[in-house]
Amino acid sequence: MPRHPNKPNQIVVVDQLVKRYKKASVNAVNGVSFYVEKGSFFALLGPNGAGKTTIISILTSTLAKTSGTATVAGHEVGDDPLGVRKNIGVIFQNPSLDENLTAEENVRFHVSLYGLYTYRPAFRFMPQEYRRKARDLAEVLGIQEQLFDPVKSLSGGMKRKLEIVRSLMHSPKVLFLDEPTTGLDPISRNNLWQYLQGIRQREKVTIFLTTHYLEEAESADYVCMINHGRIVAQGTPRQVKEELVESYLELDADDRRRLESELNHHSLRFDGRGPFRLPLQNGSAQSIISRVKTPLTVLSIHDPTLEEAYLKIIGNSSQPVS
């Protein structure tokens, strides 16, 4: 159910997409529809085996769909795979670098494969424009020092950055990232995201992410959660969270009895016997606090996280639906 199919601001449009693998008895993707706006940051979330990689493989034209339609940058994935490929960059779950080559040779191989520049056997023989672009991107991602090192000597984080440099060389309209931070330590993960956000602003590229690190999707413009090949929730992260998890005010006091009677006196709904949790939908935190006179030891507003929403949704949809 794409809300406004094929509008000019929609760069990816998926409609009733179905994929059933050979010899499988159920559909890996079962009637999925969504769209992605140009320049936005879109996150596709779901547990392992939910169908995320299948959807990304179909959208990047490496896997044939069973039915439905999917267009990327105006090209239908089944009818015009080359048109799709010219307009996308892909960072796969496992690094797809050639370990026998240097970092720059991997980039040079890529631009030649995409027909941007004719392959020359050394960096210094390549056109100046290529050399400048490769150096610029490597600098933005902080790997300029490693540009001429063999890939096998790079760390996991560096390899990821190199793949991003490589995928941006042909100025893609959509950058697909399939669980790009799997296997990276928290510092490298954080580092990579900072760079990606910067790249997104700089290159005006649409980001299509799949991940199971929910905090990475918090800054997405739109999230789509899938389980067992079906969409189970979609919207902005705020919409998804607000629909499923309540915000609440947490209060506690040394004199819990006094606090409890005060809350009852003001007819304020709460859970727990201390600390007390007061739902925030019907009154702002300010109006609650202004009525409480008991000296407080704990006062905090709990904002729901995407992770809580995710656990609730995926937990509720744990039964196969297909």
The correct pick among 16, 109, 193, 200 for binding other proteins (CB under 8 A) is 109
Bridge pairing between strands 248-252 and 276-279 = antiparallel
What is the b/e burial string over 284-305, where b = at least 16 CB atoms within 10 angstroms of the residue's CB?
ebeebeeebebeeeeeeeeebe
What token pair was written down for 74? 């105006």
The correct pick among 15, 38, 76, 101 for binding other proteins (CB under 8 A) is 101
The correct pick among 121, 128, 273, 319 for binding other proteins (CB under 8 A) is 121
- Which range of residues in 103-111, 233-241, 253-261, 266-274 is near other proteins by CB under 8 A? 103-111
Q: Which position has the token pair 């609730």?
A: 312
Site residues for other proteins, window 164-223 (CB under 8 A)?
Answer: none
- Which range of residues in 35-43, 118-126, 207-215, 221-229 is near other proteins by CB under 8 A? 118-126
The correct pick among 26, 49, 119, 238 for binding other proteins (CB under 8 A) is 119
DSSP for 119-168 reads --SSGGGS-HHHHHHHHHHHHHTT-GGGTTSBGGGS-HHHHHHHHHHHHH
Nearest residue to 219 via CA among 203, 201, 244, 233: 201
The correct pick among 6, 9, 67, 118 for binding other proteins (CB under 8 A) is 118
Is residue 255 at the binding interface for other proteins, with CB under 8 A as the rule?
no
- Least Å from the CB of residue 21 to other proteins: 6
- Least Å from the CB of residue 63 to other proteins: 7
- Least Å from the CB of residue 57 to other proteins: 9
The correct pick among 117, 156, 247, 262 for binding other proteins (CB under 8 A) is 117
Report cis status (omega within 30 of 0) of the bond before 320.
no
The correct pick among 26, 67, 79, 113 for binding other proteins (CB under 8 A) is 113
Q: Where are the alpha helices (DSSP H) in the chain?
A: 52-59, 81-86, 103-113, 128-140, 156-168, 186-203, 214-217, 237-244, 256-265, 285-289, 306-316
- Least Å from the CB of residue 8 to other proteins: 23
Q: Could you give the CA distance from residue 206 to residue 176 in angstroms, rounded to a whole number?
A: 8
Site mask for other proteins (CB under 8 A), range 11-50, x = bound: ----------xx----------------------------
Is residue 60 at the binding interface for other proteins, with CB under 8 A as the rule?
yes
- Least Å from the CB of residue 62 to other proteins: 6
Site mask for other proteins (CB under 8 A), range 68-97, x = bound: --------------xx-xx-x-x-x-xxxx
Site size toward other proteins, by CB under 8 A: 34
Does residue 234 contact residue 34 with C-beta atoms inside 8 Å?
yes
Q: Could you give the CA distance from residue 7 to residue 71 in angstroms, rounded to a whole number?
A: 12
- Radius of gyration for the alpha carbons in the chain, expressed in angstroms and rounded: 24
- Which range of residues in 37-45, 62-70, 204-212, 224-232 is near other proteins by CB under 8 A? 62-70
Q: Which residues contact 84 (CB under 8 A, 6 or more apart)?
A: 59, 60, 61, 72, 73, 75, 77
Q: Which residues contribute to the site for other proteins (CB under 8 A)?
A: 21-22, 60-64, 82-83, 85-86, 88, 90, 92, 94-101, 105, 108-110, 112-115, 117-119, 121
